[in-house]
Amino acid sequence: MHFLSAAHQLAWSQYPLIWLCECCAILWLVVRSIRSPWARAGVVMMICGLAMNALVTDANAGTMPVVGMPSTLRPVSPMWQAATAHTRLALLADQARLGLFSVGDVVLLLGGSLVMAICFRKAIRRHATCRSANF
């Protein structure tokens, strides 16, 4: 697992736009397999959240700035750095007031939650249909 974490960090910090394209390709496959317009909206939200995170990371030389990072906080990765006056796109950076999440993280989580809710709903409907067909 440590290897996968290191590979993810390297890919994100060195090539965030390539990583974003790979994620978008995977999410596009989800859009193709789920016909629900709500699930598609969730995937679009996820892509937007990923794009916001990639944009701020790329604009800040492969690091994700943290606005309002407490001085006592030690990041688990060198990818996170305290925001400075030279931070680009600080609005899209991780924010202490958002619980150290970024706007992109929030949009990504909301979109993912929407997709999961639609998938669970469809699975429950299929299960109910199968049960009623067996009686």
Residue-wise pLDDT tens digits, 105-126:
999 999 999 988 988 888 888 8
φ, ψ at 89 (rounded to 5°): 55, 45
For the cut 60, the answer to whether the pLDDT of residue 1 exceeds it is no
Q: Lowest mean pLDDT: which of 3-7, 45-49, 65-69, 88-92?
A: 3-7
Look at the block and give the residue holding tokens 């669970």: 120
Q: Among 9-23, 58-72, 84-98, name the one with the lowest average pLDDT.
A: 9-23
